[in-house]
Chain A
C-alpha cells in the first residue's frame, strides 16, 4: 500500500554511501532506521545519503535522519546529503534540519 523503500549501501576504504529510493513514512521508518544505523556503525568514515530517487519523507523519517546523525557525531563523523529534491529540501529547511546536516 505504501510506496516501497529501497536502501542500498556501498562501502569504501574511506566512507559509505547510502542510496535511497521510494518513500519513507511511518510504515517503513523502522526498517530505514535499522539499515541506516547499521551503515553508520559499519562505515569507516562519513556517511553520504544520496536522495536522488527519494520521492517523499515525513517527520518520522526525518527523525531517523537526526538519530543517525547523532550516532555518527558520537564517532566524530558527519552525514552528507546528496541530490536532494526540492520538495524534500523544503522539509529540511522548515524543520531547521538544513543547519544540522551537510547538504550538497
Chain B
C-alpha cells in the first residue's frame, strides 16, 4: 500500500519550542526508515528554519506550522505562517548564510520563498534505494 500521510505541527514563535520541532522531525524520519545520519541531517535542517523564523518574527505571539508529507520514497517538510510579517522570504537577508548552507547541504530539494504568500519554505529528502 502506498504511503501518503500528513502530520502537522503548530508551534509558537518561541525559542524554547524549537527542540519540539527537532524531536518531531527525527521521530518521523526515523519511522520512515531513513538511516540515523540522515535522520540527524533532517532534524538539523528543520531546526535551522525554525530558528530563522523566530529571528525574523518580531511578534512573539506569532505561530507557524510545519507540515510533514510522508510518501514511500520521500519526506517533504513545508513551513507556513499566516501571522508572521515577511515570513515568505525569511532567508532573504541572512547575512552569515550558515543556516542556508546547512539546509541546502542536508536536504535534496529546497524551495525558498514559494509563490503562495503563506508558505515560507519547502524542503524534501528522498529515501535512497537500498541495493
Contacts and interface: CB of A to CB of B under 8 A. Distances in A.
Interface stretch (A11-19, A40-48, A87-95): A87-95
Contact of B19 (A23, A59, A63): A23
Contact-residue size bin, chain A (C-beta under 8 Å from the other chain): 10 to 19
A7 interface: no
Contacts of A63: 96, 98
B60 to A, nearest CB: 13
Interface in A48-76: 56, 58-60, 62-63, 66
Interface string B69-103: 00000000000000000000000000010110110
B17 interface: yes
Contacts, number: 55
B63 interface: no
A102 B22 CA distance: 29
B69 to A, nearest CB: 24
Given A25-B47, A59-B51, A1 B98 contact: no
B101 A95 contact: yes
A59 B98 CA distance: 6
Nearest to B105: A94
Contact of B40 (A59, A87, A94): A87
A63 B102 CA distance: 13
Contacts of A60: 51
B102 A95 contact: yes
Interface of A: 1-3, 23, 25-27, 56, 58-60, 62-63, 66, 87, 91, 94-96
